Amino acid sequence: MRKVKTLGLLGTGVIGGGWAARALHFGIDVVAADVKPEMEEWIRGAVANAEPALARLTSAPLPPKGRLSFTTDLKAMAQQADFIQENIPEQLALKQRMLAEVSGHAASDVIIASSTSGLTPTDLQRDMVAAERFLVAHPFNPVYLLPLVELVGGEKTAPGTIDAAGRFFTFIGMHPLHVRREVPGHLTDRLQEALWREILHLVNDGVATTGELDESIVYGPGLRWAAMGTNMIYHLAGGESGMRHMLAQFGPCLKWPWTKLEAPELTDTLIDRMVEGTQAQAGGRSIRELERLRDDYLVAIQQVLRQYDIGAGATLRSLETRLYQDAAAAAAAQPPPPGQPLRLLDAVVRPEWVDYNRHMSDYRYAQVFGEAIDALFRRIGVDEAYRDTGRMYYTVENHLTHLGEAKVGEPLYVTAQLLGVDEKRLHVYQRMFRGRDGRQIAAAEQMFLHVDTAAAKAAPADAQVRAKLEALRAAHAALPPPAEAGRPVGRTRKA
Ligand SMILES: NC(=O)c1ccc[n+]([C@@H]2O[C@H](COP(=O)([O-])OP(=O)(O)OC[C@H]3O[C@@H](n4cnc5c(N)ncnc54)[C@H](O)[C@@H]3O)[C@@H](O)[C@H]2O)c1
């Protein structure tokens, strides 16, 4: 497959907007096509709306954002795109017609994917030109935050198409799940649909309200599902003997009337109960407000799962590893800029970083300086592979000075100046700036000691690491020493 620099979107509603936000954030240009010209304003709004949550997803270094353009000319979109994602309404005949048309305009090595929630790829690719480059790539709303994308090939799909599409989706931070056999609804929507049909029955029969049914998930299984899904959780439900015991214990229930999979008739009464119930739950909050709340907790959950390297957190962690590697490789390919401190980190003040004043809490300054130093370490080759050899830098002194405040959502950046390097020690002066006005809000003077952890003592750094540090030190030699460097705690600051 060709390298994807430009993603073409066919249909720019809820899902098209989500794809645009995700792709742009990870540096891919987007050409969005819709029949309705007014969708240009809509998609630009959707991208802007997604940005605050996306900006907090990771502080790993990102490539420059992609550029968004809009057209009502499907052919123009197809001719510019390296990969096309279709997101028009869920109607087989319409999708077949539009996929056939777009495939006639796109070069034959351009992969074309459909976001369809449940139509099968063999049906969709029926009239396409070069149908072997077609697959279903089913995302989940909000596409910019949920990593899952189900990949399904049809009878004419080439196996290489699935692999190549999977690589592209991984590149933009997703978790491709290959659905090996086409079934209506793929995997996830079949599971969601089973639960949904049961919900409709319980509301229809007057057993529970929409709010009570949501409580039954939110306070219990919903928390378990995010990391382990249903099967692993049931494995744990069987105690020491796991799934076998679980099936022996609860197997008989399968014959009991615990579920009705046929959906009930959607009568006006049922529709009213569903609508009034969810309106009551929303409690006057608008869809936009609720979306912001949802996005904030989706970001926070993924960050927690990252700590455990599980589920969507594992996807986030491997995305970050790649972003750090790319940034370190790009930095290593460029000599350090002479006479300028090194810009190590760009970050945004997250909601959970602020205190009762809505200002960044003091310990978060130490965290940001810590993340910046990690970026320096990666740059000089002290990365995971190096640490696996039992060697790393330990922090032995840290003098942090607060000079100003940062509010929630504010961009920050950190620079570093190397003050001294020898075979075991590294002396660094970091400055933190507020992006809004370029004002310095903190400084950290730090001393690090290179340690051999097995021997539990200081040891010389690797020659290559030393060489990179020396090159940085040379680039900083002409910089004036920071006036505050070496200042004891409590002494009045120099003017
Ligand atoms: N909404 C979801 O939660 C969700 C989740 C996953 C997948 N999907 C799937 O994604 C697809 C799109 O869903 P959506 O919710 O974004 O729908 P939507 O109604 O929000 O957007 C559809 C867009 O397609 C445009 N369109 C219609 N005909 C067109 C044509 N011939 N050429 C170009 N544009 C055209 C419409 O103007 C509209 O902007 C569907 O197949 C749906 O099943 C939806």
**Nearest CA, atom 12, ligand 1:** 87
pLDDT, residue 356, reads 85
The alpha carbon of 412 and the centre of ligand 1 are apart by a number of angstroms equal to 37
For residue 449, the cross-strand partners are: 394, 425
The CA distances from residue 371 to 46, 84, 257, 349, 401, in Å, are: 30, 36, 54, 13, 17
Q: Angle between the 287-307 and 221-237 helix axes, to the nearest 10 degrees?
A: 40
The answer to whether residues 113 and 83 touch, using CB atoms and an 8 Å cutoff, is: yes
> How close is the Cα of 46 to the center of ligand 1, in Å?
14
**CA-nearest residue, atom 38 of ligand 1:** 13
Given ligand 1 and candidates 115, 192, 294, which is best to mutate, with the most ligand atoms within 8 Å of its CB? 115
Closest Cα partner for 412 from 424, 403, 420, 425?
Answer: 403
Residue nearest to atom 39 of ligand 1 (CA): 13
The first and second tokens of residue 270, run together, are 């049922």
* Ligand 1 centroid, distance to 209 Cα (angstroms): 30
Give the integer Cα–Cα distance in Å for 433 and 441: 6
**Which is the closest atom of ligand 1 to the Cα of 15?**
16
Name the residue of 10, 14, 179 whose CB sits within 8 Å of the most ligand 1 atoms, as the mutation to test its pocket.
Answer: 14
Q: Are strands 148-152 and 175-179 parallel, antiparallel or unpaired?
A: parallel
Single-letter amino acid, residue 22? R
Give the distance (Å) from ligand 1 centre to CA of residue 11.
Answer: 6
How much distance in Å is there from the Cα of 12 to the middle of ligand 1? 7
DSSP 351: G
For residue 111, report the distance from its CA to the centre of ligand 1, in Å: 19
Look up residue 340 and give its DSSP letter: S
CB 95 within 8 Å of CB 11: no
Query: Hey, whose CA ends up nearest to atom 8 of ligand 1?
Result: 117
**The ligand 1 atom nearest the CA atom of 86:** 11
Distance 299 CA to ligand 1 centre (A): 25
Interatomic CA distance for residues 374 and 59, integer angstroms:
12
CA distance 172 to 28: 8
Distance CA 430, CA 371 (A): 11
Q: Is 474 helix (H, G, I), strand (E, B) or coil?
A: helix
Do the Cβ atoms of 32 and 43 come closer than 8 Å?
A: yes
**Which residue among 84, 87, 103 is best mutated to probe the pocket of ligand 1, counting the most ligand atoms within 8 A of its Cβ?**
87
Please list the helix, strand and coil fractions of the chain in percent, rounded to the nearest 5, in that order.
45, 20, 35
Is the alpha carbon torsion for 250, 255, 257, 262 positive or negative?
positive
Q: How many residues does the chain have?
A: 495
Tell which atom from ligand 1 comes closest to the C-alpha of 97.
Answer: 31
Joined tokens for residue 165? 């599409």
Question: In ligand 1, which atom is closest to the CA atom of 139?
Answer: 6
pLDDT score recorded for residue 493 = 64
Enter the tokens of residue 22.
């995700």
| DSSP tag of 308 | T
Of the candidates 24, 16, 5, the residue with the CA atom closest to the CA atom of residue 83: 5
Which of 74, 117, 151 to probe ligand 1 with, by most ligand atoms within 8 A of CB? 117
Instruction: Give the residue, by CA position, lying nearest to ligand 1 atom 36.
Output: 11
pLDDT confidence of residue 288 = 82
DSSP result, 168-226: HHHHTT-EEEEE-S--TTTTHHHHHHHHHHHHHHHHHTTS--HHHHHHHHHTTHHHHHH
The ligand 1 atom at the shortest distance from the C-alpha of residue 90 is 41
pLDDT lower than 70: segments of the chain = 492-495
For 261-338, list the strands marked E by DSSP: none
Q: Is the dihedral of CA 458, 462, 468, 473 positive or negative?
A: positive
C-beta separation of 426 from 456 below 8 A? no
Q: State the burial class of residue 291 (Cβ atoms within 10 Å of its Cβ: 0-12, 13-18, 19+).
A: middle
Output the pTM of the full model. Answer: 0.84
Asked if residue 152 lies in contact with residue 120, where contact means CB atoms within 8 angstroms, the answer is yes
Task: Name the burial class of residue 275, with classes exposed (0-12), middle (13-18) and buried (19+) by CB atoms within 10 angstroms of its CB.
Answer: exposed
CA dist., res. 151 & res. 443, Å (int): 48
What letters, b where the CB count within 10 A reaches 16 and e where it falls short, cover 182-220?
beebbbebeeebeeebbbbbbbbeeeebbeebbeeeeee
CA 34 – ligand 1 centroid, Å? 10
- What distance in Å separates the CA atoms of residue 236 and residue 234, rounded to the nearest whole number? 5
Ligand 1 pocket mutation pick from 88, 105, 188, 193 by most atoms within 8 angstroms of CB: 88
User: Which residue's alpha carbon is nearest to atom 33 within ligand 1?
Assistant: 34
Nearest to 154 by CA among 117, 121, 118, 111: 121
Q: Which residue has the tokens 């279903």?
A: 136
Question: What distance in Å separates the CA atoms of residue 401 and residue 286, rounded to the nearest whole number?
Answer: 42
Residue nearest ligand 1's atom 27 by CA: 88
Q: Output the CA 467–ligand 1 centroid distance in Å.
A: 54
Report pLDDT for 494: 57
Q: Which protein residues are within 6 Å of ligand 1, measured from CB? A: 10-16, 33-36, 39, 87-90, 98, 115-117, 138-141
Question: Which pLDDT does position 333 carry in this prediction?
Answer: 80
**336 neighbors 417 (Cβ within 8 angstroms):** no
Q: What distance in Å separates the CA atoms of residue 186 and residue 154, rounded to the nearest whole number?
A: 12
Rounded to the nearest angstrom, the distance between the alpha carbon of 35 and the centre of ligand 1 is 11
> Given this model, what pLDDT does residue 487 score?
86
